[in-house]
Chains A and B, each alone.
Chain A
Amino acid sequence: MLQKFLRIVSIAGHELYEIMHDQGVLTFILFLPLAYPLVYGAIYHNEAMMDVPTAVVDDSQSKTARDFARRLDATQGAKVIQFCTDMDEAEELMRQMKVFAIVHIPESFERDIQRERQTRVGLYINMASSLYYKSVVLAANMTVLDMNKDISLNYLGAGTKQQNRVSRQPVQYYYTPLYNTQSGFATFIMPPVLMLILQQTLLLGIGMSMGRARETYRRNLHTLHQLYQRPVEIIIGKSIPYFALYLIMAVYMFTFITRFFGLPALGDYVTYLAVIVPYLLACIFLGTVLSCLIYRREDCIMIFVALSVPMLFVSGVVWPASHEPAFWRYVSYCIPSTFGMHAYVRIHSMGASFADVYPEFRALWIQAIVYFAIACLLYRWRLSLVKKKLITLFEGDYENERLAI
């Protein structure tokens, strides 16, 4: 037992030594997880698209129309940057990307209101980004609702101040965006991306380390040193340095990055650690399995980098999982980040308790165990191949290999 332990420790020590002397691996597992969240934070930290540049075509040229434009300008979502004389002029601004929305107030606007006829305001939006649409539509709807209430008071007939206040809004309503109080983009996308960064950099680091081993020790997965004989010990030993380092990275995401960018921090430390342990294990063992595909150091970049964006999309964080085709949902169940992201968002953004994230916790442990088993089988298969080769090979070659250690 003690011997087993010592063997694992020395494998871990060897792996740590190799990592420390490999700039490429260090960049991936040290620099990337530290720096990447800062890049994303810098891009998204303004949270929302406010004051979308808007042009107003005021055919009515009336007091009510000007009032409408003023109220629209006062909203958070839209900013009237130009009054145009006709639609052509406004469309020209849209083509030049100087405005992203056009509000058209018809010629009969004020007359219709005074004659108690419904009047229609046109809103034209450039659909280049969904956030332009969201901001402008919300702003315009709020403006219209606000105006309608004032106008309907005239229909209802004069009342006391209190009566007017009530009929302006017979039933009050309050909207509370939970867990992301300003409906911000950073608050929404950063937490899942943090988990994805952990997984992807781990895959890259483990893959590159394996590529180096393959290049140094020829086709074998590791040295032929006598320590490396039992797959379980090799895998546990090799995982220890990554696990220890990434525990620190996970805490860095949970504390520093969250505070630095003011992301929601409702999470409980213990719950987080309880979930992050199986998450990291699942990622590390998945990395070990996938790294068997890697024959050269640089191969890992080719394989893992391009998969990041699809992984984010199938996870169900961006696109609701309930509306995803079943096939892709099952594919996403094979990826640790799917459960990692959901668990992290629930714990840290939504303050979920351990019981709330138990399904993710269980799924991550299942993944960790399955990937560990697959990794063991792959290593065993490799070892037996090596042994066979050694038996057939000349003894001297073995000595050469040993000298390479």
Chain B
Amino acid sequence: MSIESVLTKIWLIAHREMHLFARRPMFLFSMIIVPVTSIILFTTVMGDGLPVNLPAGLVDEDDSSISRSLVRTMDAMAETELVARYPSFSEARHAMQRGEIYAFFHIPKGTAAKALSQRQPSIAFYTNEAFFLPGALLMKEMYLSSEMIGMSVNRSTMTAKGNTMRRAMVSVQPVALETHPLGNPWINYAILLCNIILPGVLILCILLSTSYTIGIEWKMETHLDLYRMGSQNPAIIMIGKLLPQTLLYMLIFLFMDVYLYKILCYPCHCAFWNMVLVGWLTIFAAQGLAIFVFALFPGMMRFAMSVCSLIGVVSMSISGYSFPTLAMDEYLQYIVNIFPLRHYYLIYVNQALNGYSILYVWANVAALMIMMLLPLLVYKRYNKVFTNYKYKP
């Protein structure tokens, strides 16, 4: 077969595929609407980056200078906003159960008097950890505020004993901690999450639409026509069939990278095109995986699609960008390697977030390439799949 005739055949199949798209709004939905809407949704929902002024409450039974200074300290903090005072602990708890506040302080009666007479009073604070993010943010600031009460008492003792203010201040905090969150100094949650969730949604859409568009041939019983059109060569058929969506997804990935790194200015410490190329490689890897999965369940479109959606959905939890893989059971740390998103995530951390040399993640790049080449394993099998199998509901 000459190269020209191969190209003609690919073009013909691609042309046929585009006709298929035109007849089904389903493709439009999963290849354009879902990815683009998700890109806009996730970046705007987390548009604040880090939620500030989260509602918190106060149960102040003491009504003293200490409780007032605590209120001032808390109000000065970025993430806390004291929105309400409650007369008792149980009322504050009820407000929490209704979802009005995420945390509250409890200052019992006699706190100031005990502190002044060195009888070591105790205060308490509670956060609603059923809501992880607000709970964690408030907890950090409440710890700090509580510590500062003790510090201010000690500072007063120091100055009362005749020390200079400078010495008193140093005594409060002889060792200071300088925290450097690398690559994301604002602790921006949109940067932490969108960079991975969005490719995750895209991978899911790619896996689904690839297995759908292959499977539909068996469903419509046109697979034999296709087989003849591609002159019984699975490679020509797959390339022709996936060409239109591949180009579309490449465009969407490019759009996402432009939107994230150029318009929203998320940190990208590597060359911009590195991220685009990694994204494109991820598309090919996901397609390779989907072609491979379909060959395992020939004709069973529903089964292949279910497996693909399992891979796509679970990868969002298992990839380790929210809950680190290190904290999972050991066997999962091996299983995680079959998910393309995991490799994309590690390459992203290495490249865009930290700007290290790509040599450190060569294994992940290789893994994506292996996934891309998985269809070669089932090349021969596809001949049988085309000729011997029928659609099974």
Contact = CB atoms under 8 A, between A and B. Distances in A.
Interface in B157-211: 157-158, 161, 163, 167, 170-184, 187, 189, 191-192, 197, 200-201, 204-205, 208-209
A2 interface: no
Interface stretch (A166-174, A274-282, A379-387): A166-174
A171 B45 contact: no
A178 B45 contact: no
Nearest to B327: A49
A306 B123 contact: no
Contacts of B124: 173-176
Given A127-B182, A302-B30, A342-B99, A171 B149 contact: yes
Contacts of B29: 302-303
A141 B123 contact: no
Interface size class of B (residues with CB under 8 A): 35 or more
Interface size class of A (residues with CB under 8 A): 35 or more
Contact of B129 (A95, A148, A178): A178
A48 B146 CA distance: 24
A134 B45 contact: no
Given A175-B142, A301-B309, A319-B45, A118 B154 contact: no
A249 interface: no
A180 B127 CA distance: 9
Given A173-B122, A302-B30, A313-B45, A113 B346 contact: no
Interface string B199-236: 01100110011001001100100000000000000000
Interface string A226-270: 000000000000000000000000000000000000001000000
A119 B170 CA distance: 9
Given A126-B182, A129-B322, A297-B393, 10 more contacts: A42-B329, A95-B357, A97-B346, A113-B174, A128-B321, A129-B321, A170-B120, A171-B146, A178-B129, A345-B130
The 7 closest A-B pairs by CB, nearest first: A180-B129, A155-B171, A172-B122, A173-B146, A170-B153, A188-B132, A127-B184
Interface of A: 22-24, 27, 39-40, 42-46, 48-50, 52-53, 68, 94-97, 112-113, 116-134, 137-138, 140-141, 144-145, 147-148, 151-152, 155-157, 163, 165-167, 169-181, 183, 185, 187-189, 191, 208, 212, 264, 296-299, 301-303, 305-310, 313-314, 317-320, 322-325, 327-328, 342, 345-346, 349-353, 356
18 contacts: A49-B323, A116-B174, A122-B180, A124-B182, A125-B179, A129-B321, A151-B175, A152-B172, A155-B167, A166-B119, A171-B66, A171-B153, A177-B139, A179-B130, A181-B129, A183-B132, A299-B26, A303-B29
